[in-house]
Chains A and B, each alone.
Chain A
Amino acid sequence: MSEKCLQLQLQQSGLIPLEVELTVKQGEIMVLLGPSGSGKTTILRSISGLYKPSSGQIICNGNTWFNQKEQINISTQQRSVGFLFQHYALFPHLTAKQNIGIALGHIEKTYRSDRAQQLMDMVHMQGLEHRFPHQLSGGQQQRIALARALARDPDVLLLDEPFSAVDHQTRIKLIRELAQLRDQLKMPIIHVTHDLNEARRIADKICVIHHGKTLQVNTPDNIMSGPLTKEVASLIGHYNIFTGSIEKHDQALHKTYLKWLNYSLETPYQPDLEIGKEVDWVIPTENIILHRRDRPSKGERENPVHGIIEEFIPLGETTSVSIKVNGNEQYLSLSVPTHVARRNGLDKGGDISVSLLCERIHLMEKSV
């Protein structure tokens, strides 16, 4: 248990169910991703000791913070956590610098002012030391809250939707700043969000959560390309999630064939899947390729699917297209550059043909 990391296992039933298993290493940013009400904040509150789950354990750097069986539940003050609250919770009667200074109780009084100033500088807030929270913009308040959370040199840093209360531009800027800052941060960092793009941008690992349960933990790329279940796929924003069955394996061609509607789709070779077995499968929208009307190409032989355009929504540079697959009530979503859509004369109600990239079809255990 000498390795410095945060480990937690939490179980709870009832109104706020929890089934959490998570390990976060030093310097690693773990993003808890899930919809509102999925229990993300409860997990942060449990780590910080503001909430007591009914069972489980929390160990940080080998120290037990919480263990239901051994009746250990040390106080928030003793846990050394840096907590950045969703709405920052700055102390309104204290200046920016005092807000940071008040969290420096662990160091000698004479050094506190210098240390608070260092932290102010670190979050690019020099010159605003004497402002009160209400005199600061949302982004500035967030920076002070971050500096305050870091002031204790905490063993773990918890960020609860830190970018949700600022406008889009500020958010991009703050995310960039956090990315720059992270090299200096040596503790495990847990970042809660429901925003997939934010998660992909800053996470070393993403932990997908729903109804208080950790469903999958992996790097952003691995999660995006290989969700474990239909539920995870849907939570990370996949639209094209379907059910099919294994038709055959072709060792020579190194392909597994998937029966879906009246199509036989080529997918990556996975001989361990039983013939006839029902599976869920997913394909990211960017891996559905439009067939050009003017110039048919070789690639069109790869999993061609035909249908009628059910929905056609131009969104600036790209256009979102939803296809009703011929003869079925199944819908495929894809996104095409708007100029391509225009050149091919795509519009609602028109015919369309697409190819599903074989290598990008991901098969999953069928969910119950």
Chain B
Amino acid sequence: MDWQALQISLWLGFWTAGLLIPLGIIVARTLAWHRFFGRNIIQTLVALPLILPPTVLGFYLLTAFGNRSWLGQNYESLFGEPLVFSFHGLVFASIIFNIPFAVQPIQRAFESISASIREAAWCSGLSNWQTFWKIELPLAWPGIFSALILTFAHTLGEFGVVLMIGGNIEGETKTIAISIYDRVQAFDNESAGIMSSLLLLISFIAITCIYSLNDRLDKRHV
């Protein structure tokens, strides 16, 4: 059992979900309620990581983060270390890779709030900000919770992009999924089996959580 790799994976999941969810709420709410030029392009970009092979995405991110790129150069001059093959780079890549898992459930949740509910809130004297906090957010909560769990669980299981962007640096970018691969390569099937069953368990619990919470919350809307 590679505890260090598990720790890196958990931190990666934490940062990815923590940074992506607020961003996802903004993007999802905009996509749900506004019709604007280019909306479908944005929706396509949001969904793209679902379809693209992780290696393709990883390749482009590697190019974009590399020290010859604008982003890579600026990052390095700012923080004194390269973006690729670092934990920060991994978080960046992971956020991009998880966009559809965060945005889509939240978008569906906002779409299911009828316009008249928001209008009723305004007529009740609630400002746009109060309407967001007291009405929209609690109603969209099941979607946000799903997004949170999905993003977290999916990050733990990420392999291709992590390998392309992070490489396999012990204690820095070596996540549990990569560690499993390593163990199998080294014919250490026992360790690989333990870690695999741990990931399986986490994923199973995560998905069960989503279903049971949605079930409970759905009753409110009957």
A residues near B (Cβ < 8 Å) are 48-50, 75-77, 80-83, 85, 87, 89-93, 102-103, 105-106, 132, 134, 148-149, 151-152
Whether B122 pairs with A89 at a CB distance below 8 angstroms is no
Task: Report if B135 contacts A (CB, 8 A).
Answer: yes
Task: Report if B206 contacts A (CB, 8 A).
Answer: no
User: 19 interchain pairs (CB within 8 A)?
Assistant: A49-B122, A50-B119, A76-B122, A77-B125, A81-B123, A83-B120, A89-B114, A89-B117, A91-B117, A91-B135, A103-B124, A103-B125, A106-B125, A134-B219, A134-B220, A134-B221, A134-B222, A149-B123, A151-B124
Residues of A within 8 A of B138 (CB): 93
Q: For the complex, what is the distance from the CA of A50 to the CA of B122, rounded to whole Å?
A: 9
Task: Report if B1 contacts A (CB, 8 A).
Answer: no
Whether B127 pairs with A77 at a CB distance below 8 angstroms is yes
Q: For the complex, what is the distance from the CA of A149 to the CA of B130, rounded to whole Å?
A: 18
Q: For the complex, what is the distance from the CA of A89 to the CA of B119, rounded to whole Å?
A: 9
Whether A83 pairs with B222 at a CB distance below 8 angstroms is no
Whether B139 pairs with A92 at a CB distance below 8 angstroms is yes
**Nearest A residue to B130, CB-CB:** A105
Residues of A within 8 A of B39 (CB): none
Smallest CB-CB A-B distances: 3 pairs: A103-B124, A89-B120, A89-B116
Residues of A within 8 A of B139 (CB): 91-93
Q: For the complex, what is the distance from the CA of A49 to the CA of B123, rounded to whole Å?
A: 9
**Nearest B residue to A81, CB-CB:** B123
Within 8 A of A (CB), among B170-221: 219-221
Q: For the complex, what is the distance from the CA of A48 to the CA of B122, rounded to whole Å?
A: 10
Whether B120 pairs with A85 at a CB distance below 8 angstroms is yes
Task: Report if B96 contacts A (CB, 8 A).
Answer: no
Whether A93 pairs with B124 at a CB distance below 8 angstroms is no
In the complex where A93-B220, A134-B220 touch, is A152 in contact with B125 (Cβ < 8 A)?
yes
Q: For the complex, what is the distance from the CA of A83 to the CA of B121, rounded to whole Å?
A: 10
The listed residue with most A CB atoms (<10 A of its CB), out of B116, B125, B219, is: B125
Task: Report if B126 contacts A (CB, 8 A).
Answer: yes
Whether B124 pairs with A87 at a CB distance below 8 angstroms is no
Residues of A within 8 A of B119 (CB): 48, 50, 76, 83, 85, 89
Residues of B within 8 A of A103 (CB): 124-125
Additional pairs, 18, CB under 8 Å, beyond known A83-B120, A148-B124:
A48-B123, A50-B122, A75-B122, A76-B119, A76-B122, A77-B126, A81-B123, A89-B114, A90-B120, A91-B117, A92-B139, A93-B139, A103-B124, A105-B124, A105-B126, A134-B219, A134-B222, A151-B124
Taking the closest CB of chain B, its distance from the CB of A80, in whole angstroms, is 8
Residues of A within 8 A of B126 (CB): 77, 102, 105
Contact of B116 among A87, A132, A134 (CB under 8 A): A87
The listed residue with most A CB atoms (<10 A of its CB), out of B122, B221, B222, is: B122
Residues of A within 8 A of B124 (CB): 102-103, 105, 148, 151-152
Residues of A within 8 A of B222 (CB): 134
Within 8 A of A (CB), among B39-76: none
In the complex where A134-B220, A134-B221, A134-B222 touch, is A91 in contact with B120 (Cβ < 8 A)?
yes
Whether A83 pairs with B123 at a CB distance below 8 angstroms is yes
Whether B120 pairs with A92 at a CB distance below 8 angstroms is no
Taking the closest CB of chain B, its distance from the CB of A186, in whole angstroms, is 19
Residues of A within 8 A of B125 (CB): 77, 80, 103, 105-106, 152
Residues of A within 8 A of B219 (CB): 134
Q: For the complex, what is the distance from the CA of A89 to the CA of B127, rounded to whole Å?
A: 17
